[in-house]
Amino acid sequence: MTTVALKDVTKVFPDGTVAVDNVSLDVNDGEFMVLLGPSGCGKSTVLRMVAGLEDPTSGAVLLDGELANDLPPRDRGIAMVFQDFALYPHMTVGNNIAFPLRLSGVEETARGERVADVASALGIGDVLARKPSQLSGGQRQRVAMGRAIVRRPGLFLMDEPLSNLDSGLRAELRAEISGLVRELGVSTVYVTHDQAEALTMADRVAIMRKGVLQDVGTPTQVYGRPATLYVAAFLGSPRMNLLEATVYVHLDRYVTLNLGEQALYLPWDDIRARAVAHYHGERIVVGMRAEALTPVAPDSPGDVLQGRIRYLEHHGHESLAFLDIGATAIVVDDLGAPVTGDRAGGAGRGIRRLSQVMQRLAGRATA
């Protein structure tokens, strides 16, 4: 299957908009790469340059190691799926799927067989005679997928293919699409602004902001060890707690992270203590996910922060507690917390186990 390599790729539109700023990224053979980022960050422009629908202003696009900057789209061995499906309304489902085969001159019997195979893999074998207008949104998207798959491309490019569907169908189709693509083993670049989609479907996620690539890694890597403060704050719901702290390395070899009136203690044998030690005397940003913090009774021993509950938010499967700890507000996953007094009444509460101060700190505080 096709590999993709972007080398220092920049795209500046004629009006001066820098849509993509010096991006380098590799997509390996058979890999499912998701480009993730907010609207306007340049994801689609990257995809369109891989497709050959936009020319890079500078830099190189390589397909299978060969420079492809001047290769026309039709010679790139790619298939694209967009959010608006773009089916031909006057053609039956079967003819829609068969269309790319007709264009490339595959004869009728072989065409019929391939269409039947693909339709059955996608669970739309019984609607081949219908027109697109007679299908549900999910079925239409399956047809669009079918039309992309049928030519057996070396590379799939998908731009928000699920964003026009309701949330239940989206969740169902994202599992189907990633399962199918993996079965076919086709390298894929998939664009979305939906982090749940990115984290559940991707082999690796590339996160962009304002045209700049921020981080690339497996979902576990970018979630657990984000490369930049932006990625730390962007991924995850609730948002990661980001606290400014001053680092003190004590002579008897332990580290405290001073948060104002309170401090977190890291014994020297904790790898995180050594990771921050060279910031002695400096202000840094400490990242803590809500699920890494455990609410305990106020008088509990150990590494405890005291906080005052501002409010609780119930989400069915979990509850979140929003706390003030001195000058800072943080959020804690409150599931299974011991009840001490009035839960929502503002009783002082501790938060124990700083179990996930990020090993690689997201960056220094700007303050």
The residues binding ligand ATP (CB under 6 A) are 13, 15, 17, 19, 37, 39-45, 193
Q: Smallest distance from the beta carbon of 207 to ligand ATP, in angstroms?
A: 11
Owner of token pair 């509850």: 319
What does the block give as tokens for 86?
């773009």
Q: Smallest distance from the beta carbon of 47 to ligand ATP, in angstroms?
A: 8
CB 326 within 8 A of CB 259: yes
CB 300 within 8 A of CB 350: yes
Based on CB atoms, which residue is closest to ligand ATP, 16 or 105?
16
- Cβ-Cβ contacts under 8 Å for 195 (sequence gap 6 or more): 36, 234, 235, 236, 237
Q: Smallest distance from the beta carbon of 156 to ligand ATP, in angstroms?
A: 17
Q: Judging by beta carbons within 10 Å of its beta carbon (0-12, 13-18, 19+), is residue 261 exposed, middle or buried?
A: exposed
Q: Smallest distance from the beta carbon of 55 to ligand ATP, in angstroms?
A: 12
Based on CB atoms, which residue is closest to ligand ATP, 29 or 84?
84
β-pairing verdict for 32-36 and 187-192: parallel
Based on CB atoms, which residue is closest to ligand ATP, 36 or 122?
36
Based on CB atoms, which residue is closest to ligand ATP, 160 or 244?
160
Q: Smallest distance from the beta carbon of 290 to ligand ATP, in angstroms?
A: 27
Q: Smallest distance from the beta carbon of 78 to ligand ATP, in angstroms?
A: 17
Based on CB atoms, which residue is closest to ligand ATP, 131 or 193?
193
CA distance 77 to 87: 20
Based on CB atoms, which residue is closest to ligand ATP, 43 or 76?
43
Which of 290, 273, 259 lies closest to 365 in space, CA to CA? 259
CA distance 290 to 333: 5
CB 10 within 8 A of CB 58: yes
